[in-house]
Amino acid sequence: MKFSIKSKQMVVLFLVAFLTFAPSQAVEDTQVNASSEDTALSNQIDEILNDERLDGALAGVSVRSAESGELLYENDGDIRLKPASNMKLLTGAAALETLGPDYTLTTEVLTDGSIKGKKLHGDLYLKGKGDPTLMEDDIKAFAQSVKEAGIQEIKGDLLADDTWYDDIRLSEDISWNDETNYTAAQISALTVSPNEDYDAGTVIVEAYPADAEGEMADVQVIPENDYVEIVNKTETVASDQPKDISIEREHGTNQIVVEGDIPLEGTRSRSWVAVSEPAGLALELFHKALGEEGIKVKGEKRADGKTPESANLLISKESMPLEELFIPFMKLSNNGHAEVLIKEMGKVVHDEGSWDKGLEVVEDFLQDNDVNADTMRLRDGSGMSHVNMIPANELSQLLYQVQAKEWFPAYLKSLPVAGNSDRFVGGTLRYRMGNTAAEDNVQAKTGSLTGVNSLSGYVTTEDGEELIFSIVLNSYLEGVQSIGDEIAVTLAEHNSEAEE
């Protein structure tokens, strides 16, 4: 059969069109479904994402092989989205690389004076170097050591020195109404934690019912101090009445207002409250502890100290190693720890304990490890900022790359474990995905802000394949946490052999 010139032209045009469009379509199909045997998994995830709660929202989803890093599934994986506390995955990895798992943060007591008889002729400094695990008992131990050094009187001033970092207390995108919440505690190089969750820069305020109706509630502060002022506007009401107690710090002050009704013989109300200028609280506790040891301070109590280079070290206390600190940091998603690590990295690498220099260290770490920081916007270490933007594909790429690091076991151990009721194992996932294939299987970092929910980590499928996933959901109006959980469970249940 012979072709006419017109027919030959049509064939040429068809071939040109095929060669132009077919390869790009094939690449697109490969990106979404790495192989035909993954089609069923892709369809399952697509169906989960076809949820009306995501109408008008954004869903960045990325699934990789933990062995090869091959992208097995993605949905808007390159779209920049708010990560919430998934930002801590970046901060934590950079900190372990830059500082090392054995790194500790210290607090020091120094003097620029001399001891003559039982008197210290000079000033005494409490110098912080970022330790978020400093507690009242540690400060009491400092006071005991001062006494053991033979000092019964300090002729000079008692000063707090928090100059190890800069004096910017809050990252730039913290909202006004978050400033008094423990999740946005001020960042200082000298700070105290009220308990072993190590929410540095906060106090715990508890309200208990009085013994009789009409009386004010019994309000207690941990640690007990005069640095914060309690304004008690509560009333104990009949036992059959509802409890309605609010605990709020007045903005710009350290005045904490406790108000409302608490029923007779009812349960306590408890809240963590961020303190304004937390170095002042540490100083207050140190002054109090010295007094309890019978040590008099003749000079002033000042929170603006800068220790002279010539000062002599009397006492120091180291924090737990970084790999141990990562348990409360990542399991409980401690925002303050993330910001301290950012400033510490800036101090160590650039001799400037600031957000700008610390985030520069994070970006350099990402670029050095084949994670594209150029496509991100990083504004803090914790993920509290609504201006952070990270694609899901880059989060999963980070989780792939860090597997080769010597410190990876500590990193992995710090991630919350789905459905494990132990608070320092399950962490923020302890009440999620229980009695599913994900229980004690999924190890992942959670994240939550208004309109933001994220979950990124590791999972082993039913047939033993190890996968990495990142799920970042943005701009929704109704709660979508269950959608991320459903995807994680689907990955845990996946069995490619059963599909063949």
The whole-angstrom separation of Cα 371 and Cα 374 is 9
Active site residue 8: no
C-beta atoms surrounding 97 within 10 Å: 20
DSSP secondary structure letter of residue 34? S
Residue 222, classed as helix, strand or coil, is: strand
Q: Which residues contact 468 (CB under 8 A, 6 or more apart)?
A: 63, 64, 65, 66, 396, 399, 400, 457, 458
Catalytically annotated residue among 62, 271, 333, 382 = 333
DSSP per-residue string spanning 264-300? TT---EEEEEEPSSHHHHHHHHHHHHHHHTT-EE-S-
C-beta atoms surrounding 377 within 10 Å: 12
Q: Which two tokens stand for residue 428?
A: 């923020």
Active site residue 116: no
How large is the greatest C-alpha to C-alpha distance in the chain, in angstroms? 118
Closest CA to 134 of 69, 82, 188, 176: 188
CA-based torsion, 335, 338, 343, 346: positive or negative: negative
Q: Which two tokens stand for residue 122?
A: 């000079």
Judge whether 463 and 492 are in contact, CB under 8 Å. no
**What's the gap between Cα 208 and its chain centre?**
30
Q: Could you tell me where the DSSP H helices lie in 315-455? A: 322-326, 335-350, 355-368, 392-401, 408-414, 423-426
Catalytically annotated residue among 62, 85, 276, 385 = 85
Active site residue 88: yes
* Active centre residues (catalytic): 85, 88, 333
